[in-house]
Every structure is written in structure tokens, then in C-alpha cells.
Structure 1
């Protein structure tokens, strides 16, 4: 665990506690995901993480997290987002299943500089507790759970896919925009209502080039607003996030291609990959939910 994260101290709590520790870990490019169980009641003290931001979600059990002067009781509905410049410690009950995302500090700082188009005068510090059931944080938490499900599927090739890198980028941008931090007021920028034409401009770009590697920041730059403003405008005018809209456009293009294709000249996997989906079962599930049949059925028609 020290090799994946950092040197830290672990103490067993209570005489009856015994370690029965398991860790499953995958790394993409700037993010590592680890699923951890300790077995017994433990106290874990990493101190300052320095080089990375740990995002910690409890899937089963309970735990208490302290970062700097803040403390929260974490549950599956409350995610802990720690800052690398503040001391971190946690206490986990026996049987707790913990997932930790290690987001590299230089990568997250570079993402924020791109969103703001300016240098960062001070280190990023997040509010520790994230409510995973409301507002923008709920949408981000849902994407984070998708990340976790990929980890649990133990498909090692997925971590090298285009889909994984896109989800990693979304994870970093979304965390900065959704979770309150000491740059939130700068990210918010102009809080006046954003006109429909801004959303229309972003939609037009996604419709014209759905195959491009769009990000929230690139779409916002093209529309002439801040990333936070674009995300809020999409929520107000379309009731979905920009990235969700992009996924729907790509799904429609895949549907059109499957309708026009011949089964002996292409495969569902090739079509899915062409439109940004490397995970075939998830693509098939989303396709079925929208069109009422699986993509293989469409291709055979």
C-alpha cells in the first residue's frame, strides 16, 4: 500500500482485531484506483499526502476521516475529498470496503490552470465532505462509481483504453467544478444567467464533431464562457451535463452506423470503439435502454 500511495502508519483498534487485508489496484495515466479491505478495526495515519489528492469512498461499512481541522463520518452517501497539503487520518470499522482514487497533484493543478486560463497562486484545498446524493456532486459521484465498477471488473486492458482516459479527464474536471474548494469563487466567474446561444454553440460543436476528444474546458472555451458557467447552463437548459449530452450524440451516431452496416463487414465492437466506448457490455446496455434492442440485433437487420 505504501508503494501505491505513501508511507503511513496503521494501528489495530482493540485486542480482538486482526488484519485480513486485500487490495486491488489499477492505474490509468494520472489516476490510480484501489479497492481496500483491512479486516479489523484500524486507524490509518498517512499525514500529508503531498503529491496526490486522495478521494475516498466507502462502499460498505463506515469510517471517520480527518483532514486538517475538518472531520466527517463517511458512509456510501458521503465521500471524503482530502487535500495533499493538510494532514490526513482515518478510522475504519471492521469489514469496511474502501475505494481510494489517487489523483496526481500536478495533473489536477494543470487541469485547473486550463479551466481558469491562469496560474495558481495557492495550493488547491477541497472541502472534506462530498454529498453524493444532491446536485452536481451527485452527477460526479455517479461517474466515480462507474470508475469503481471498472476496477471491480478486473479488466486490465480497460485502463489503457481511450474510454478510460476520457473518464479520467472528466473525473478531474468534474471534481474541481462540483466539490467546493478555495478556487470555486474563481471558477464560478460571472454568475448571471447564460443565454441559450451558449448551450447551442456547444451542442453544435458536439453534433458536428462527436468523434473529437471534447472536454468541459474545451467546449467552454469554444462557447466563450467559463467551464462552471457552461455546466450550469446545460443543467438549466437541457437538464443534463455536457458530457452526458456528448455520450447521447455518440450513441445516436453508433445507432445510425449499425443500421447502415453489413454484419460481414463490421462488428459491434468496432462501431462502439469508433464512437468512444471501449466497454462493450456497457455500450450494449446503454444502447438497449435507448433503442429497445441490443446493437447486435440492429446490425443483423
Structure 2
């Protein structure tokens, strides 16, 4: 079956939607389409019968977001280099996918979406029966939205949770909103095809994701993990995220929060799931990993990046880093070659 492209405007604008699509049984054509619409460093390998490939994609771009429904028709494996410039969410509409990202294996189906951060290679096992909603959001757009919503400086890239619920709460609403936007952009006379309305809808998708996905800043996303974090916990979290390299102690953070050390410890276990200094160590490790992932070998050293993020004992740092990411810091840095 030859490729059949769906009609769409030729040139995208900041708030002018562009709708394109493809139906093909040619793997090279499908790969080229996905590279142009989503990411350049992408490889697609058939795991099932290549003769059963029936790639269908219906995709719209709107300023900083790209949203589409995609299916391959045969089992494939997708390998993607570090996204770098975007965050990405995959929502299986039927079937399931398995993926590996940043040392963690994630299973996603119609009940749970998977979230990818800008750093770390991605590998996805995608059965031919799975059709999914694929949403890419430019890195700067999502980070600005979280920053504006919380009125505080955030670490880039955001330490987002790897999945979120699609059955109840904001995740279900956000996925429905993104899918409805794609449906609206298919029609030239739809309300969302008008630039002013498209811009508002675009902002709703970005801000809705910021409120849906899990992150450690301020209060929890509404409805995601129960009651909001108390002000004492928020003050300690804000301090650590603002100055992650500072030599914080539990007593320092407790004094800042206006409670005793034992109260702060218990509040963190209840509302964060980690003791304060364990959270701080993870924050620092993620910061080092993200910086090493973006750095060129020879221009920086592991030790200077580690010191910059507050690690003073390199032996303990290296062990904790390997436990968290499954590789040494130098391997992460060499991976940029």
C-alpha cells in the first residue's frame, strides 16, 4: 500500500495548526515521517512480521505541542536518543507498550500513561495491536508553565514522575482534552482551527499537563496523590530545589519550616515518601545525571559536576549514582559521543 498523506497546511506558525498524516506499509517511509514530526535520533525495527506493517498516523502540530494517534499494525521496537528539547507522553488507546527509560522499566496501557523526560535514551516495545496518543511538548514551554504556576525557580529538566493515572482524576481529563484537540484540528472549519482559539487550547494542554504529571515542586498535582503537602514540607522542598548544592541538614530544614526535626521527618515520610535528605540526594543525583547527559566529554569532568551539585565524597557519590541510573557517571558522560 503506497503512502497516503492526509491534507494539511504547508507551513506551521506559532498558533496556526498544521495537520498531516500518513498511511503506508513501507517502514522507511514510516520512520522518516516520525523523525520529521517527532525526533531525529529515532530507529524503528520490526519485531513481528514486516509484511503485516500497516502504519497509520494522524498528527497535528500547534506551536510547542505535537499530538497524534499512531499505530504500526505489527510488533516493533522503537529506539530514541535523549529527547533533549521536549517532554513526551504516550497514552495507549488500546493495547499496551513496555518501555525502558533512565534505568526504569514502565508498562503503560489504557489505565496509565508513560512520561519521558528530555534526558536518557528510550526503548519501546510496541505490539502491533496497540494504537496510542503521542503528545510532545517543547521543554521550555512546559518548564515555563510549571514555573509560572508555582511562582518559584524550577530545576531543568523537571524531575517528573514516569507515569500517571488515566482512569480517575486529572489524567483522564487531560488525555481526553488532547485527543479532542487532535479531532478538532482535523477539520478546516472546526473551532480549534482558528488561531485565537487554537492558542487558548494549546495553553490548556500545556498547563493541564503541568497540573497532571507528578513533580516534587510545591503542592502535588490536583487529585494525583491525595491531600496537598503542608506548608512546612513545601518550605523545605522549595529550599532544596532552590539551592540543591547547599549543605542542608535536617535541623536546617526543620528550622526553616518552623517545626522540629522529628516532625519534619514524619511529614516527609507521609507526604513525599522519602526522608528530607534522601530526597535531596535524589535531587542532586538527577541534576548531575542531566548535566552529564548534556555535556561534551573533555569539556567537563565528572568531579567538577558532582562538586557543583553538592557531592563532596566522590566514592559515595559514584556508588549512589550507579544504584540510581545503572551506570557510572563517566559512562553517562561518554554516552554523549
TM-superposed deviation, 1:23: 1.9
Match runs of 1:247-286 below 5 Å: none
Q: Supply the distance in 2 between the matched residues of 1:98 and 1:46 (Cα, whole angstroms).
A: 17
2:134 corresponds to 1:107? no
Paired with 2:165 and 2:204, the residues of 1 have a C-alpha distance of 18
Q: Tell me how far apart the structure 1 counterparts of residues 189 and 126 of structure 2 sit (CA, whole Å).
A: 28
What is the SS of the residue equivalent to 1:130? Answer: strand
Tell me the CA shift for residue 25 of structure 1.
Answer: 1.6
Say yes or no: does 1:4 pair with 2:31: no
* 1:140 equivalenced with 2:174 (yes/no): yes
Deviation at 1:156, TM superposition (A): 7.5
When normalised by structure 2's length, the TM-score is: 0.51
From 70, 73, 77, the equivalent of 2:111 is 77
Give the TM-score of the pair, scaled to structure 1.
0.56
Indicate the residue corresponding to 2:161 in structure 1. Answer: 127
1:28–1:160 contact (8 Å) kept in structure 2 = no
SS in 2 for 1:54: strand
Give, in angstroms, the shift of residue 56 of structure 1.
1.0
Q: Distance in 2 between matches of 1:130 and 1:121?
A: 21
The CA deviation at 1:106 is: 1.1
Structure 2 partner of 1:55: 89
Structure 1 runs (4+) deviating above 6 angstroms are: 186-190
Which runs of 5 or more residues in structure 2 are unaligned? 1-33, 223-227, 232-337
Residue 74 of structure 2 is aligned to residue 40 of structure 1: yes
Q: Which runs of 5+ in 1 are unaligned?
A: 193-301
Deviations 1:123-159 (A, max 9, x none): 21321211111223333233233224335x4447634
- Kindly tell me: are residues 17 and 74 of structure 1, through their superposed partners in 2, closer, same or farther at Cα, counting changes over 3 Å? farther
Question: Is residue 64–residue 90 contact of structure 1 (8 Å, CA) maintained in 2?
Answer: yes
User: Is contact 1:40–1:93 with CA below 8 Å preserved after alignment?
Assistant: yes
Cα separation, 2, equivalents of 1:102 and 1:173: 14
Given the superposition, is the C-alpha separation of residues 53 and 159 from structure 1 closer, same or farther in structure 2, using an over 3 Å criterion?
farther
Q: SS of the counterpart of 1:64? A: strand
Equivalences for 1:7-26 in 2 at 5 Å? Answer: 7=40, 8-15=42-49, 18-26=52-60
SS of the equivalent of 1:3 reads helix
User: Deviations along 1:96-144, whole A, 9 cap, x unmatched?
Assistant: 2122111111111111221233332342132121111122333323323
In 2, the alpha carbon distance for the partners of 1:23 and 1:156 equals 21
Deviation at residue 171 of structure 1 after TM alignment: 1.7
CA distance in 1, matches of 2:193, 2:80: 26
Could you tell me how far apart the structure 2 residues matched to 1:48 and 1:120 are?
A: 20
- CA shift in 2, pair 1:94/1:159, >3 Å: same
1:139-197 Cα deviation digits (max 9, x unpaired): 3233233224335x4447634433332222122222122211243558898747xxxxx
Paired position in structure 1 for 2:183: 149
1:174 aligns with 2:208: yes
